[in-house]
């Protein structure tokens, strides 16, 4: 994967996050624009986005939308599909070892709440909350929470996607 591909992917992930209802800061949009320009990606609105102050929220939002259109980035049809797509990506990254169970579990829990806390994600959310409350002086190792997060992630990925509402 080239640096340009990585930048396109980062811009797409930000766009999906916004569609999903996540709090995507304008500073992240501007930074992604700068990274894309440095990597050699070029669209008419990319330079505009990269040159904006992150405090100019309306202008950043408009420029980012134009960048997404100019790059032809494919986005899910609606917020619910965007949320499930993000969750699938995080589950995959955890199972493949590219994302820690702590970070991935927190992300899945956050977006799972936007989905109304479906039963299929409640186990990960529960283990993630316990992991979040873990303190270094605990006698219980972090693995007690991390392993079930990884196991439930792998189980979800093996089944139908998105998971059925009846999934335990």
H/E element holding 150? helix 143-158
Residues 6 or more apart whose Cβ sits within 8 Å of residue 30: 49, 50, 52, 53, 54, 60
The residue from 54, 71, 88 where one domain ends is 71
| Residue 167 lies inside a defined structural domain of this protein | no
Tens digit of pLDDT for each residue in 139-148? Answer: 778 888 899 9
Co-location of 84 and 152 in the same domain = yes
Going by pLDDT thresholds of 50, 70 and 90, the confidence category of residue 167 is: very low
Going by pLDDT thresholds of 50, 70 and 90, the confidence category of residue 95 is: very high
Q: What is the domain extent for residue 48?
A: 3-71
Report the Cα–Cα distance between both ends of the chain, in Å, rounded: 37
CA atoms of 129 and 100, how far apart (whole Å): 14
Tell me which of 39-48, 96-105, 140-149 is least confident. 140-149
Co-location of 61 and 90 in the same domain = no
- 168, pLDDT greater than 90: no
What is the count of structural domains for the chain? 2
Mean pLDDT for all residues in the chain: 93
| Residue 165 lies inside a defined structural domain of this protein | no
Co-location of 67 and 83 in the same domain = no
């Amino acid at each position: 994967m080239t640096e340009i591909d990585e930048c396109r992917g980062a811009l797409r992930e930000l766009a999906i996050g916004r569609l999903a209802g996540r709090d995507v800061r304008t500073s992240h949009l501007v930074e992604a624009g700068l990274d894309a320009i440095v990597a050699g990606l070029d669209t008419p609105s990319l330079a505009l986005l990269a040159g904006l102050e992150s405090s100019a929220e309306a202008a950043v939002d408009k420029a980012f939308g134009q960048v997404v259109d100019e790059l032809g980035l494919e986005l899910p049809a609606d917020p619910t599909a965007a949320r499930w797509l993000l969750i699938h990506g995080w589950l995959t990254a955890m199972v493949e070892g590219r994302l820690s169970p702590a970070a991935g579990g927190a992300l899945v829990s956050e977006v799972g709440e936007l989905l109304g806390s479906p039963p299929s994600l409640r186990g990960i959310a529960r283990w993630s909350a316990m992991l979040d409350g873990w303190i270094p002086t605990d006698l219980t190792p972090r693995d007690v929470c991390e392993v079930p997060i990884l196991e439930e992630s792998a189980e979800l990925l093996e089944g139908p996607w998105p998971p059925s509402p009846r999934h335990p």
